[in-house]
Structure 1
Amino acid sequence: MSPTRVTADANPLRDPRDKRLPRIAGPCSMVMFGVTGDLARKKLMPAIYDLANRGLLPPGFSLVGFARRDWADQDFGKIVYESVKEHARTPFREEVWRNLADGVRFVPGSFDDDAAFDLLAETVAELDEQRGTGGNHAFYLSIPPGSFSTVCQQLERSGLSSPQQGAWRRVVIEKPFGHDLESARELNAVVEGVFPADSVFRIDHYLGKETVQNLLAVRFANTMFEPVWNNRYVDHVQITMAEDIGIGGRAGYYDGIGAARDVIQNHLLQLLALTAMEEPVSFDAHNVRLEKEKVLSAVHIPQDLARGTARGQYSAGWQGGDKVLGYLEEDGVGDGSRTETYAAVRLDVDSRRWAGVPFYLRTGKRLGKRVTEIAVVFKKAPHLPFTDTATEELGQNAVVIRVQPDEGVTLRFGAKVPGAQMEVRDVSMDFGYGRSFTESSPEAYERLILDVLLGEPPLFPRHEEVEQSWRILDPIERFWATEGDPPDQYSAGTWGPASADDLMRRDGRQWRLP
């Protein structure tokens, strides 16, 4: 039986006559698989507390942990407490914690343990009676993709995936959504064979960031931007996600995956879609996804992948005053590994709006600083009524959306230097969230978890988007694996390999220095 979709307006805790009131989740619980992992401890549990602290969860909200641990409810409660105290964004309040702790439960077991899932079914039924969760339960799979199939089948076998009339059951899965197009399709078939498509929430935490959502506001709420957001005025677009850290202890996951699969396939292609999409009819889930899918279906890769892509691997160097190891020296990395820690690619969008405008995507570890940004770089003015010396330091206008860490928007344009002579130089006009709003931005997982509980899916990619992303990346990965040269080495603390600079130089452009 298909679950009834509960909209925000159907929420009994929200007055539908006042759209200014905050979105508050109705009666529900969340069952979390993978509670012993870093994501659960550092992001998910603190986000749930922060939502409760902001008054956005119902009084009876409950959190159920599932793991292969010999814990009682109070043992799991202690783990949640420690995670909240260390990582929560909002101040700790004892009364909020006590109410949340009353709804904490734990079920021990492995993913192939029928008895454990039967006990889990009994536990959520008890929560319906004791906490008033109303049969509404979200299952958060913070686990390796290889376990998705087993867990989904257990949820189906135990009846946990099937709600009663008027209630809902939803599943939340973390990336990676497969490792190529074929595996993504297999994964989608497994998950959507148990849960209806509109009950599957694929988490890309970048889409929960305020600045990513602000990109749509900048584009479609301001007449000063949208008229020039096209190939008449835009020269190119650069989308960057740079990290200043190495792989840490993630060699078991990262080696063999690499930067392109880890970041470009999901985060950066989602940012490209939001940057390039047409204005949707409305901002409901269906229409936003429809426009994103159109963009991704129009993306094509370079004919010459040797010239249109670049990849690298960080070597030992200095970063932040410390001597750091190279990738091949990290614990757990195989000898002679060809896994890239830096990837860059030129993509084109075959549409009337973007024909001829290249999109350059790059990501890497151990780069010069931690930054994620979208830079829309405009063409130079067709005529400058100044002497060459007056504008020799003048670059190209740009709109730069800073996703992290300093969330905001920068406009770069030319202005006269004070003085008797006419001299034009680049200046910046800056908007920062922290300076413009008194309320701090919520963590991405706060927004995304709340959207799951409300059943509001615009920020979650459907399987069509995931498959389009793999369609774009798979040929690049095959080329690197079969024909491409090994990754170029670049020193830790720099901005990537020389081949990435060559990629831009061949097009007569250069990377921005964030």
Structure 2
Amino acid sequence: MPNVEATLSPTSGSCEERRPDGCGIIIFGASGDLVYRKLLPALYHLYARNLMPEKFYILGFARTDMTDDAFRERAREALVDAHEPDAPETVTKFLSKCMYVSGDYKDPAAYKRLQTKAATCDCDFSEKENKLFYLALPPQLHPSVVSRLSECGLTAEGENASPWARVVFEKPFGHDLNSALELDKHLSSMLDPSQIFRIDHYLGKETVQSILMLRFANIMFEPLWSQRYIDNIQITVAESVGVEHRGGYYESAGCLRDMFQNHMLQMLSLVTMEPPTRFEAEFVQAERVKLLRAIRPWSERTLKDNIVRGQYAAGTVHNEKAVGYHDEANIAKDSATETFVGMKLYIDNWRWQGVPIYMRSGKRLHMRESEVAVTFKRVPHSMFGFASQHEMPANILVMKIQPNEGVDLTIHTKQPGPKTCMASLSLSFKYEEVFGITPPDAYERLLLDCMLGDRTLFLSRKGVEAAWTIVDPILNFWRDHPDKAPLHSYEAGSWGPQASDDLLLRSGHQWRNPPDEHGTHFKSLAKPLIVRK
């Protein structure tokens, strides 16, 4: 389908980013993959764009024994691997602010060394003494790390939070509802709620943030955004990779905990929540929670009929052979862990009553693609002769999250020629093409917000609890009734098990798979529809 050129017209007012006050960024788990693959490149990007504080430092903490120079060299390698631009002076200045302390996460003496090193860095790099603690660690270590930080006074804040201390927690937030509540109780005994930043990197993605602006800054969409005009909503997060080096974690988590309890439900809440009074953390988080609480509770019938779980078998992905899940490293040969979940749910409120919401996510699927597709209802009556109401494809609004961030809107128009032929046309744009830059990584936005103290794009305690309330019954049903929730096998490189397709076909729908090599989504869009000879 052809594209329509987009023209960028800046709106009035300032959109300049505010630089944070000076601070120290103390990263726990500083020898881990997340730090070198995501956090350090994100912090460097902020520094290169002049968005880091004027005075700051990065202090890594991990069990691995390493000198400051060794940490800097690993950081330099990480920036090279991330294909950073050739700016050696900028890189050198950035690395000069990186330090390191080694120690066990449960050893009080290690925290004394950390405290001493941080105090020295405060004098040399950041007179404000503000501190951002990033816990790039397995969740089971979170309670003990926070306890040790609290015991040595590192999380204490001054009057009116000056200096401030904030702690960033990576998912998962608990293993189930009870463990999440217990974790929150423990953290709340040592930290003020304003100090807790529960990060979900999907909320930092440019297109995910743009969902709110697309809905609430454009008058033509909001009046249509309800059960009156929308037929169904689909959210897909497809990954072509397998579990890779995360086999041990994935075996205990599975797709439902890894993707649905956080990323998928948070995207759903942004697409369907009511308009917040203001774009501030308190109001945005409240509307997200309200939406999650409106999701229809599961019954035994819907748990059985409306949820499909699968596990990938050997196959071919991108013309390369891929092993099955059981043959991945650190995976049990008889594992029943799901690598794919597809589900249908409903939101019981006035806006969305009766609109099916379809969500799916999985490993080793046909391609890497994350998107939200809003399918509108067909016209109530067709005036075009041979084209009946049911022959006319629906209008679809697609918000592409990754890898090609952008927006597509499918409409219908007359195809040029002597005959009256209807053709589907895609009005589309890609952020990179229109704005001339590659959208920043999600961690850049979220790390900057952490330093600024803006919790709008972070999860609240109530939000985590509401998400677990939705996911817990599914996990319990799978555990207690495996005969009613079979684990379907699907070939690596496919779009998941056939049972997932059948789930939608029963309601007269089908998954909107991303375009194939010919650029088509559905066969109905592949050729023009002749409506009058």
Q: Secondary structure at the match of 1:31?
A: strand
What is the CA RMSD across the aligned residues, in angstroms? 1.5
- The one-letter amino acid paired with 2:206 is E
2:486 counterpart residue number: 486
Question: Bigger CA drift: 223-232 or 302-311?
Answer: 302-311
Q: Sequence identity, in percent?
A: 42
Counterpart Cα distance in 2 of 1:301 and 1:488: 24
Q: Which sections of structure 2, spanning at least 5 residues, go unmatched?
A: 1-12, 515-533
* Within-5 A mapping of 1:399-438: 399-438=397-436
1:101 lines up with 2:99 in the alignment: no
Counterpart Cα distance in 1 of 2:372 and 2:427: 16
What CA deviation, in whole Å up to 9, does each residue of 1:264-320 have, x standing for no partner? 110010000000111111101101011111101101244321111101111111111
Q: 1:173 aligns with which of 163, 169, 174?
A: 169
Q: CA deviation at 1:486?
A: 3.1
Q: CA deviation at 1:69?
A: 2.0
Q: CA deviation at 1:390?
A: 7.4
Q: Secondary structure at the match of 1:402?
A: strand
- The one-letter amino acid paired with 2:289 is E
What CA deviation, in whole Å up to 9, does each residue of 1:79-105 have, x standing for no partner? 1111122215x5242332233233222
Q: Secondary structure at the match of 1:423?
A: strand
1:53 lines up with 2:75 in the alignment: no
Distance 1:133 1:174, change over 3 A: farther
Q: 2:104 aligns with which of 89, 110, 117?
A: 110
Contact 2:57–2:126 (8 Å) recurs in 1: no
Contact 1:170–1:200 (8 Å) recurs in 2: yes
What CA deviation, in whole Å up to 9, does each residue of 1:201-240 have, x standing for no partner? 1111111111001111110111110010001000110011
2:522 counterpart residue number: none
What CA deviation, in whole Å up to 9, does each residue of 1:407-441 have, x standing for no partner? 00000122222222222232211011011102321
2:530 counterpart residue number: none
Q: CA deviation at 1:48?
A: 0.8
Question: Bigger CA drift: 438-447 or 228-237?
Answer: 438-447
1:75 counterpart residue number: 70
Q: CA deviation at 1:256?
A: 2.9
Question: Bigger CA drift: 491-500 or 90-99?
Answer: 90-99
1:297 counterpart residue number: 293
1:455 counterpart residue number: 453
1:43 counterpart residue number: 38
Q: 1:27 aligns with which of 16, 22, 29?
A: 22
Q: 1:147 aligns with which of 128, 141, 144?
A: 141
Distance 1:112 1:33, change over 3 A: same
Q: CA deviation at 1:251?
A: 1.1
Contact 2:285–2:460 (8 Å) recurs in 1: yes
Distance 1:159 1:488, change over 3 A: same
Counterpart Cα distance in 2 of 1:367 and 1:128: 48
2:199 counterpart residue number: 203
Question: Bigger CA drift: 456-465 or 426-435?
Answer: 426-435
Counterpart Cα distance in 2 of 1:115 and 1:200: 25
1:318 counterpart residue number: 316
1:7 counterpart residue number: none
Counterpart Cα distance in 1 of 2:78 and 2:415: 52
Question: Bigger CA drift: 482-491 or 166-175?
Answer: 482-491
Q: Secondary structure at the match of 1:257?
A: helix
* Within-5 A mapping of 1:61-460: 61-87=56-82, 90-165=84-159, 166-303=162-299, 304=301, 305-389=303-387, 394-460=392-458
Q: How many residues align?
A: 496
Counterpart Cα distance in 2 of 1:298 and 1:266: 16
Question: Bigger CA drift: 434-443 or 169-178?
Answer: 434-443
What CA deviation, in whole Å up to 9, does each residue of 1:125-150 have, x standing for no partner? 12221112411000000000000011
Q: Secondary structure at the match of 2:370?
A: strand
* TM value normalised by structure 2: 0.90
Contact 1:35–1:142 (8 Å) recurs in 2: yes
Counterpart Cα distance in 1 of 2:369 and 2:297: 25
1:14 counterpart residue number: none
Counterpart Cα distance in 2 of 1:498 and 1:504: 10
Contact 1:394–1:425 (8 Å) recurs in 2: no
1:472 counterpart residue number: 470
Counterpart Cα distance in 1 of 2:352 and 2:497: 28
Distance 1:489 1:388, change over 3 A: farther
Distance 1:133 1:241, change over 3 A: farther
- The one-letter amino acid paired with 1:432 is K
Q: Which sections of structure 1, spanning at least 5 residues, go unmatched?
A: 1-17
Contact 1:145–1:178 (8 Å) recurs in 2: yes
Counterpart Cα distance in 2 of 1:337 and 1:416: 54
* TM value normalised by structure 1: 0.94
Distance 1:35 1:401, change over 3 A: same
Contact 1:391–1:423 (8 Å) recurs in 2: no
Q: CA deviation at 1:394?
A: 3.0
Counterpart Cα distance in 1 of 2:457 and 2:485: 37
2:3 counterpart residue number: none
Question: Bigger CA drift: 145-154 or 251-260?
Answer: 251-260
